[in-house]
Structure 1
């Protein structure tokens, strides 16, 4: 379609579908939501982080707004605000999307409606929509021209090509099929198509393995006994939500696992990994699921599940540490009951609940994905893992929409408890550092961080919390400038002040200054093994005074800033006095740990 798009000529449903498709192509992380109340308009939500979102509210209005339409927008904003409260997120910006540019009066009215709450308002009107249309013409052609018919036509060509007897040469056949797939990719705004001719040595069966983004797949057998694999792939994560593939099929579960998946899907609407099926009717022509005889076996991996909108929020509660809010990502129902799954803000803890309609309770399952902790905010990790650590053996309450649904014992396995406690301890230390540091350090890769890095983070956090650290030492080195060699009396009490710096990978955070105090018994000069031109003064402990060092944080005053990185030595205290100082510091550290528990 060329020229200006006459938006007023098209149905509201088509306009909303087109606008939602534009946004999903522009914002690849967009999720479709539909508030349980209100006018039923389409909303797309984009998570900027675990607690902050952008919202796109889509409206079909293409002519000057009337009072009734303004009332719909106001109602949408109010319902959306309630939805985000239930989701425990803050709206960063609210985009009102429609093929209509605002008047000055309309823009002023909309900003007054939204921005009093601290949310940024954006009117994505006709100019923005026409820009999207120029960028994604296949969407316009699909809805307002003959795009749908062209997709069906090329899909039919793809099927018939596989059955042509003169295409027995694999190279020729694959090139022709790829040309057809390339045309389909340009025409279909929702799905891409992948095809390749299998080698005669490829012994995979007709049920193709799962692949990311693939919603349907099958293997066709050509007249020459060759085999062709065809996949249908979502172009965006919500393509099958915006434009679901509708067909009738017969699930042919064979193994016990497949039968269990099929049963859970029918009885509770639970999603499944993959199931063998026969497509027996298809209103939407696709190059998979159907062969020339109208019936074809394949693997089905994504269905338009019977989604429930009644569950808006979920949380776990234990009086010892409060409430852990969860994000509901799936809620379904079937013939026997309902199912929902939810995850925490870090997406590393996932809980699922299967409710049996004829009973008062249900079953709880949960799983951990510790590998997803990388780059999460330390405060989010603390919030989740504090709850899991402190409530590991407790009876906790599952709340759905603020109402108690089930009491159950968390009962984590011993190996999981060990991991949870380790993650919690590291997250608490990192959050302490982030509160004091000049920049935020994200959570590290839990499986790659070294013991030394963990110890450094925890020691820095202890200092920042006001704790005195006593540690054993064997030697300390200081760089020497020029040819000068310090002349100390031994034993000597030595002090120095250095920055507290925490380094993780390429990131480093400065947190303050710490003073180290110890007694040296001897020293020697040595050359740096890497740089021969640099010399070091290596300090060693005194046999009588021992090898204990005391480290404590100091305020960043003028004297501290002047004396940083400088080694100061004085006559040591009496031996008994030094041992008393060390004992008092160790006792203080123990008392601090007890108070922190």
Structure 2
């Protein structure tokens, strides 16, 4: 196994590698804290049934000097303030660095944190080396040739479609090409500590004026297409190994959106800018794309932004109230997606009813006071009357004078009540503001 030269890593590489090792060790519930004005004494936090395990990562690789001790205590004080202001449920706050403390320095740390309302710990080189031994791909990506090997594997996968291929019924590759594809997919899983991959042969997406509009699975972080012929292409899809990887190793792109003025696409861009709502199939051009493989894709296309389901939200429902405030209907919601816009105060929450009868978006801007619900009826093909009845009754009773409100199942309301106005357009799309 490659040894990690902790002392020669930059502060950012040290933090990123340590965070990745924690994410790899605890794939469920880990989050990377990106500081805006200070990180609140947190670099990585991991959810457990007993509360948050919080890690503050420091690069210090030898006995702490006075200034470094001050940095540790400043981080501890910042986290104490964060807990006091938010009520965060904390299992333990741990300072993590590539140096095992002496008995004297551990005693200093325990003395300085003794008045804490939550447990504290100091973990050092021994812990980091153990994590590194468990996850060699993470180490190889940062200090070996893992990143370059990953790019080469992606290029090999792309070249699968460069020569005429024998294809079995149903569109799958056959013979040598299939074996090579399976081999590359397996190597990708072992080489990339951030993502897992699938490689498939599919019908070519619709090319219109040089633009690509492929349908994507919700969990896909990104996809690469390489044409085999006029009707088929190799598709390489990458999926985040854990939800928090999107924070630790994000995909960055520079793009220019070019919707036609006054079009529905232009209105969607404005909504995306203000509230962070979903953006789908907007004409534009990608000028720079930084993805984990290091391969750049640039050019025109149809651009979509899809937020991730927020697993930390409570169980939600949408309620319909009579003019007198009596609850007429409660409809449970699933797959909540919470996003923030670029305009200060703007945010949105998208979800659907548990039966999949309708989709709902709540848009709010605390600065301007705007607040509204948007309901869209989904395709009901294949659903039974019993499945959709309660949700259809909710939509049916969106009548003038009644009001909608978001709520927590078994608890109170969230946000504002919105009264249904006169002259409201009926299905398939209803907008309340």
Shorter chain as denominator, the TM-score bin is 0.5 to 0.7
Task: Report the equivalent of 1:31.
Answer: 31
Shift of 1:300: 4.3
**Whose RCO is larger (CA < 8 A, sep 6+)?**
2
**Does structure 2 conserve the Cα–Cα contact (< 8 Å) formed by 1:213 and 1:237?**
no
Whole-angstrom distance in 1 between the partners of 2:420 and 2:47: 30
Task: Report the equivalent of 2:163.
Answer: 165
Shift of 1:275: 4.1
Count of residues paired in the alignment:
341
- 1:213-292 to 2 correspondences below 5 Å: 213-217=219-223, 219-223=225-229, 225-251=231-257, 259-268=266-275, 270=276, 272=278, 274-275=280-281, 278-284=285-291, 286=293, 290=297
- 1:1-16 to 2 correspondences below 5 Å: 2=2, 4-16=3-15
CA 1:122/1:22 → structure 2, altered by over 3 Å: closer, same or farther? same
CA 1:23/1:212 → structure 2, altered by over 3 Å: closer, same or farther? farther
Whole-angstrom distance in 2 between the partners of 1:94 and 1:178: 43
Whole-angstrom distance in 1 between the partners of 2:409 and 2:79: 26
- Aligned: 1:55 with 2:81: no
- 1:88-103 to 2 correspondences below 5 Å: 88-103=87-102
Q: 1:387 aligns with which of 412, 415, 419?
A: 412
Shift of 1:289: 7.3
For the residue of structure 2 that corresponds to 1:57, the secondary structure is strand
Any unmatched runs of 5+ in structure 1?
Answer: 305-328, 344-349, 368-381, 389-395, 399-407, 414-597
CA 1:134/1:55 → structure 2, altered by over 3 Å: closer, same or farther? same
Task: Report the equivalent of 1:105.
Answer: 104
CA 1:239/1:260 → structure 2, altered by over 3 Å: closer, same or farther? farther
- 1:353-432 to 2 correspondences below 5 Å: 353-355=364-366, 359=368, 361-363=369-371, 385-388=410-413, 408-409=416-417
Pairwise CA RMSD: 4.0
CA 1:412/1:112 → structure 2, altered by over 3 Å: closer, same or farther? farther
- Aligned: 1:180 with 2:184: yes
Shift of 1:296: 6.7
Any unmatched runs of 5+ in structure 2?
Answer: 168-172, 309-336, 351-360, 376-406, 422-433
Task: Report the equivalent of 2:424.
Answer: none
Task: Report the equivalent of 1:433.
Answer: none
Whole-angstrom distance in 1 between the partners of 2:165 and 2:17: 38
1:305-330: CA deviations, max 9, x gaps? xxxxxxxxxxxxxxxxxxxxxxxx96
TM-score, scaled to structure 2: 0.66
Q: Is the helix fraction higher in 1 or 2?
A: 1
Q: Based on CA coordinates, which of the two structures has the bigger radius of gyration?
A: 1
CA 1:65/1:275 → structure 2, altered by over 3 Å: closer, same or farther? farther
1:521-547: CA deviations, max 9, x gaps? xxxxxxxxxxxxxxxxxxxxxxxxxxx
Shift of 1:203: 9.3
